[in-house]
A and B are shown apart, each in its own frame.
Chain A
Amino acid sequence: DVKVTQSSRYLVKRTGEKVFLECVQDMDHENMFWYRQDPGLGLRLIYFSYDVKMKEKGDIPEGYSVSREKKERFSLILESASTNQTSMYLCASSKQGLGHSPLHFGNGTRLTVT
């Protein structure tokens, strides 16, 4: 089974802190994604990556950056956390190529910024 592991299930950080959310997948997937999920807003794509050191902005990249130094690891960085970044963060991965390619999600990191 594909496993996508997010390093923390719950995080509490203070406003202005630099926050790192880590995600690791074990299936050699080329594509990795970061979403945030908020009540009434569904899942919104923050950033994605289709190769090591490659990244593309999603729908809501403001206030976030990402890092993909190794194929299996995709990090989401909040340079200066703010209270409006309190949310559930979900990482996903998928295989690249033509045809079908399901997304595999981790169980999420619930971040609270106080």
Chain B
Amino acid sequence: DAKTTQPPSMDCAEGRAANLPCNHSTISGNEYVYWYRQIHSQGPQYIIHGLKNNETNEMASLIITEDRKSSTLILPHATLRDTAVYYCIVRVGTTNAGKSTFGDGTTLTVKP
């Protein structure tokens, strides 16, 4: 699985959009981009994923560049409850497990 690079920390004002970048320059054609977040003392929670196209769900939007070497997770109206560590990983969906390697993630702090 390809490796990802994320900034260690970011701040965002409550109510504003939070844009979290991720670099995955060695991504392969069959690897999906997944985003998870981990709130203190809980397990990571799945947010969104994508292959080539931009995606949106009730939690967030995912923008993937045309060359697929980077992506941005967008939380459109950040709240204090969005303060968490956000992980970007790339992962193959295959018939076996497909190991997923989590880096250090980005600690997002939403401030009032």
Contacts and interface: CB of A to CB of B under 8 A. Distances in A.
Contact of B93 (A41, A92, A99): A99
Contacts of B94: 98
B97 A103 contact: no
Given A103-B36, A103-B46, A108-B42, A59 B93 contact: no
B99 A107 contact: no
Contacts of B43: 4, 90, 92, 105-108
Interface stretch (B14-22, B72-80, B102-110): B102-110
Interface residues of A, number: 32
B60 interface: no
Chain B contact surface mostly: loop
B26 interface: no
B42 to A, nearest CB: 5
A101 interface: yes
B34 interface: yes
A36 to B, nearest CB: 11
Interface string B83-101: 0000100010111111111
A96 B96 contact: yes
A26 interface: no
B97 A97 contact: no
27 contacts: A4-B43, A31-B98, A33-B97, A42-B102, A42-B103, A42-B105, A44-B102, A45-B101, A48-B99, A56-B97, A59-B101, A92-B44, A94-B97, A98-B95, A100-B49, A101-B98, A102-B34, A102-B46, A102-B49, A103-B46, A104-B46, A105-B43, A105-B44, A107-B42, A108-B41, A108-B42, A108-B43
